[in-house]
């Protein structure tokens, strides 16, 4: 019997994934590295530093830790600038109603985002009070595909992993949910998210009535 639903943020609730891509592409350009939208899929759900390392690997570039810290901070300052303009209307269609309905039906609801900017995004979207627990990139040691973030979310909700369903748009996130022993709904395309228990194009396309038949 499913008792809790855990949502990823970027790509599941709002399209901040696009702003991450634009900021990384700007940095890659500065470094003379060509970085495509397809390669960007590898960055979804993974930490800021790991994302930078993937881009450097694509470009065959090796840098010192200090330089990498500097570049990651630079990318983040651009990202923070881009997301300042986010408005509550940018929440994906039907998601706010879905969050409300889940709580009305007695499900516990959590947010689990690898982003260290998740608090800012929730504040701008004005939806922080719709979650019983929030876990973000500042609270974990190992980012997705490690299951740590989802296990922490379940523990904050006071439920065991096997009664949780995770909504994820990233391959690393689907792997993390499965490694945590949870059910997973992939939001996006079967090419990347084939391991999920179900796949939908958009988060709110998944009917709450089907949570128990995953």
Contact residues toward Mg ion (CB under 5 A) are: 8, 10-11, 45, 169-170
* DSSP character string of 121-175: HHHHHT-GGG-SEEE-TTS-SS-TTSTHHHHHHHHHHT--GGGEEEEESSHHHHH
Q: How far apart are CA 1 and CA 45, in angstroms?
A: 27
Q: What H or E segment, with its residue span, contains residue 56? A: helix 48-59
Q: How far apart are CA 186 and CA 86, in angstroms?
A: 24
Structure tokens at 130: 């719709």
Residue 65 or 104: which CB sits closer to ligand B16? Answer: 65
Residues in the chain, total: 214
Which positions are annotated as active-site residues? 8, 10
> Does residue 10 belong to the site contacting ligand B16 (CB under 6 A)?
yes
The residue range among 99-107, 114-122, 126-134, 174-182 that interacts with ligand B16, by the rule CB under 6 A, is 114-122
Residues contacting residue 100 through CB under 8 Å, at least 6 positions apart: 130
> Does residue 94 belong to the site contacting ligand B16 (CB under 6 A)?
no
Note whether 115 and 83 are within 8 A (CB). Answer: no
From 4, 6, 8, 130, residue interacting with ligand B16 (rule: CB under 6 A): 8
Minimum separation from the CB atom of position 76 to ligand B16 (A)? 6
Name the β-bridge partners of 6.
Answer: 110, 166
From 47, 159, 171, 211, residue interacting with ligand B16 (rule: CB under 6 A): 47
Task: Centre a 10 Å sphere on the Cβ of residue 197 and count the other Cβ atoms it contains.
Answer: 16
Residue 17 or 125: which CB sits closer to ligand B16? Answer: 17
Note whether 25 and 201 are within 8 A (CB). Answer: no
The residue range among 42-50, 157-165, 185-193, 197-205 that interacts with ligand B16, by the rule CB under 6 A, is 42-50
Residue 8 or 159: which CB sits closer to ligand B16? Answer: 8
Closest residue to ligand B16, based on beta-carbon distance: 113
Minimum separation from the CB atom of position 1 to ligand B16 (A)? 27
> Does residue 192 belong to the site contacting ligand B16 (CB under 6 A)?
no
Residue 67 or 210: which CB sits closer to ligand B16? Answer: 67
Binding residue count for ligand B16, defined by CB under 6 A = 21
For binding to ligand B16 (CB under 6 A), which residues are involved? Answer: 8-11, 17, 20, 43-48, 51, 76, 113-117, 137, 170
């Amino acid at each position: 019997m499913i008792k809790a639903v855990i949502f990823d943020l970027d790509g599941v609730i709002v399209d901040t994934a696009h702003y991450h891509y634009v900021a990384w592409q700007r940095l890659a350009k500065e470094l003379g590295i060509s970085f495509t939208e397809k390669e960007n899929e590898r960055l979804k759900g993974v930490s800021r530093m790991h994302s930078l390392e993937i881009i450097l690997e694509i470009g065959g570039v090796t840098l010192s830790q200090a330089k990498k810290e500097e570049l990651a901070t630079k990318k983040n300052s651009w990202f923070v600038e881009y997301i300042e303009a986010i408005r509550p209307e940018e929440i994906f269609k039907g998601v706010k109603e879905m969050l409300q309905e889940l709580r009305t039906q007695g499900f516990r609801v959590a947010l689990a985002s690898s982003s260290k900017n998740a608090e800012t995004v929730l504040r701008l979207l004005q939806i922080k009070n719709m979650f019983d627990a929030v876990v973000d990139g500042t609270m974990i040691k190992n980012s997705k595909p490690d299951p740590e973030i989802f296990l922490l979310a379940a523990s904050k909700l006071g439920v065991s992993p096997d009664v949780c369903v995770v909504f994820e748009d990233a391959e690393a996130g689907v792997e993390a949910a499965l490694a945590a022993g949870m059910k997973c709904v992939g939001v996006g395309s079967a090419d990347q998210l084939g391991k999920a228990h179900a796949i939908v194009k958009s988060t709110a396309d998944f009917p709450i009535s089907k949570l128990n038949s995953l």
